[in-house]
Amino acid sequence: MEAKLIAIDIDGTLLNEKGLITDRTKKVIKDVQNNGIFVVLATGRHLLTSETIGRDLHLMDPIISHNGGTIYEPIGKNVVVEQGFNIDQVELVLSFLRRERIPFFVSTATHLIAEENLLTTDYCSEFNGVKLTLIRNVKKINEPILKLSILGEEKVIDQLNGIIKKLAPTLQIVRGGERGSDIMPLHFNKGRALKILCERYGVNLSQTIAFGNYYNDIEMIKYAGLGVAMGNAPKLVKLAADFVTSSNNEDGVANVLEELLCSGNEFYSFLPGEISSR
């Protein structure tokens, strides 16, 4: 099957451990675009920082941000999807986080907002390149909330997730990285966003490739015609994939895309890797 759309996660997938995109990866992404294939960034990051990375790569194709809560088209600055919830839905969660002194921040379409008395100096100015707006109480936010992000070490977050599920039963908890979880509307994820984009652009899901490295990428990896897990991904993510490439520090994305271009955009003849069953 010929590839027509490629969705790529950012952290731990497109970026190496230094937070950089290698020149080799930049070149192969440009070559893929020149072959008429959509290249879509699909990330848990805020739209503001994911759009910056898209501009650096000279991408004009849509961006999936906030773990699928937002789909944005740079051309025309068109927001295709913005799935949010009301801050009142997490009132019990907020009370718990404040009581336990657990840092958190809230994402809206235009801002990243934190409560000034809960964040450490590590987060007081920005997060992933997005400047934080500090206020006394997030209840004063009038915009739809796209996600509530909870910060902490992996073991702490694992312990918190069970508690938070009981406090916010109408929402979902998404593990987007080792140092945090996101609370989001139910049923929205990168996989559903990929499906919406395919319908919008007339692309069959079987003609897509998705790259990811963490639990918030699993639905997207499963939906895609070819789901690719990075070599640095946890076991459960690898098991969800059709193919496991090398790590983000070994140009895992570029390895697959170069082989794809060499094979005439067809889903076959990939470099040796750990093939996993769905």
Q: Is residue 56 included in any domain, yes or no?
A: yes
Element (H, E) at 2: none
Give the chain's domain count: 2
Same domain, 122 and 56: no
Same domain, 163 and 92: yes
Task: Report the pLDDT averaged over residues 179-183.
Answer: 86
Q: Is residue 110 included in any domain, yes or no?
A: yes
Tens digit of each residue's pLDDT (9 = 90 or more) over 9-62: 999 999 999 999 999 999 999 999 999 999 999 999 999 899 999 999 999 999
Residue type present at position 96: F
Q: Is residue 145 included in any domain, yes or no?
A: yes
Q: What is the CATH number of the domain that holds 257?
A: 3.40.50.1000
Q: Quick count: other Cβ atoms within 10 Å of Cβ 59?
A: 20
pLDDT value, residue 261:
86
Domain coverage including residue 95: 87-185
- Residues with Cβ within 8 Å of 125's Cβ and at least 6 positions away in sequence, in order, are 131, 132
Mean pLDDT lowest among 70-74, 127-131, 170-174? 127-131
User: What average pLDDT does the chain have?
Assistant: 88
Q: Is residue 274 included in any domain, yes or no?
A: no
| Gap between the Cα atoms of 192 and 83, Å rounded | 12
What is the largest distance, in Å, between two alpha-carbon atoms of the chain? 57
Same domain, 93 and 180: yes
Nearest in space to 242 (alpha carbons), one of 218, 253, 226: 226
Q: Is residue 271 included in any domain, yes or no?
A: no
| Gap between the Cα atoms of 42 and 226, Å rounded | 15
Nearest in space to 216 (alpha carbons), one of 240, 242, 197: 240
Q: Is residue 128 included in any domain, yes or no?
A: yes
Residue 152: band (very low, low, confident or very high) from pLDDT cuts 50, 70, 90: confident
Q: What is the CATH number of the domain that holds 122?
A: 3.30.1240.10
Q: How many helices (H) and strands (E) does the chain have?
A: 8, 15
Is this prediction's pTM over 0.85?
A: yes
CA distances from residue 192 to 15, 181, 195, 213, 217 in whole angstroms, order as listed: 23, 19, 5, 17, 11
